[in-house]
Amino acid sequence: LKYLWTGHKWFVAGRAGVGADINLSHYVAFNVEVNANMMSDHFNSKRGGSVDWQFNALAGFTFKFGKGTRKVPAVYEELPPAPVAAAPVKEEPKVTPKPVEQPKPEVKVEKITENIFFLINSSKIRASQEGKVAAVVDYMKRNPGATVVVTGYADKATGTSRYNKTLSDRRAKAVGDALLDAGISADRISMSGKGDSEQPFVQNDDNRVVIMIAE
């Protein structure tokens, strides 16, 4: 009895294990359980510092008798068909008839002719002739589609034909430059000199002239 434990009577015990249930069928299952028990020496009243171990292994079968479950028929609720929205009626776009354009009456613009007279052996525009140039400029601005032909001449009784050709060119250029300075574009002006090869007037002195025809 000297080994009997005479101290306090409480002790710590531990247990651990694993188990598994394996269904062999709907009614039969195989069971396995393994556990280990750890007990202090207080359990067997022995004095010692070691613990006692106990191992257990259990195996068995579980049988189920009778119906464990029953089938419940599924209930389906028939829902009324969803209302189909009527397709919107597509309105045809209103077509507004275009007003019939009346043809514009063709306005015929009368051409304008101005004669710029020069002094003998001169290509300078005199003050008395500047109003004629201004009249052609005004006509050209009022009629943007109009063009002007500027033709220079020289009298046959003065100078040689070669010199008169050069003089007529200078006179035509002087009038053309005046039109350019007044704002008429160059593509609307045509210039040339005839010299004394043509005499537009009967009087000799009148052929010292530049004739402008705008239309």
Could you tell me how far CA 168 lies from the centroid of its own chain? 61
Residue 201: exposed, middle, or buried by beta-carbon count in 10 A (0-12, 13-18, 19+)?
Answer: middle
What is the phi/psi pair of residue 112, to 5°? -125, 140
pLDDT in tens, 63-111: 777 665 666 666 666 777 777 777 776 777 777 877 777 777 666 678 9
CB of 179 within 8 A of CB of 187?
Answer: no
What's the average model confidence in pLDDT over 128-137?
A: 96
CA gap 189, 195 in Å, rounded:
19
Q: What is the DSSP annotation of 77-124?
A: PPPPPPPPPPPPPPPPPP-PPPPPPPPPPPPPPPPEEEEEE--TT--P
The two tokens of residue 123 are 């290509």
pLDDT of residue 2 exceeding 60: no
Domain spans, the chain: 13-63, 112-214
Please report the pLDDT score of residue 102 as a whole number. 77
The two tokens of residue 206 are 């009148």
Higher pLDDT, 27 or 202: 202
Q: Which of 18-22, 107-111, 198-202 is the least confident region?
A: 107-111
CATH number belonging to the domain at 112-214, selected among 3.40.50.10190, 3.30.1330.60, 3.40.50.1370, 3.40.109.10: 3.30.1330.60
Q: What band does 54 get if pLDDT is binned at 50, 70 and 90?
A: confident
Strands (E), the chain: 13-23, 28-40, 51-63, 112-117, 148-152, 189-193, 209-214
Please report the pLDDT score of residue 191 as a whole number. 96
Instruction: Please choose, from the candidates 68, 53, 52, 60, the residue with its C-alpha nearest in 3D space to the C-alpha of residue 19.
Output: 60
Predicted TM-score of the model (pTM): 0.51
CA gap 103, 137 in Å, rounded:
30
CB of 139 within 8 A of CB of 186?
Answer: no
Name the DSSP class of 152.
E
What's the average model confidence in pLDDT over 143-168?
A: 96
CB of 50 within 8 A of CB of 41?
Answer: yes
Please report the pLDDT score of residue 43 as a whole number. 62
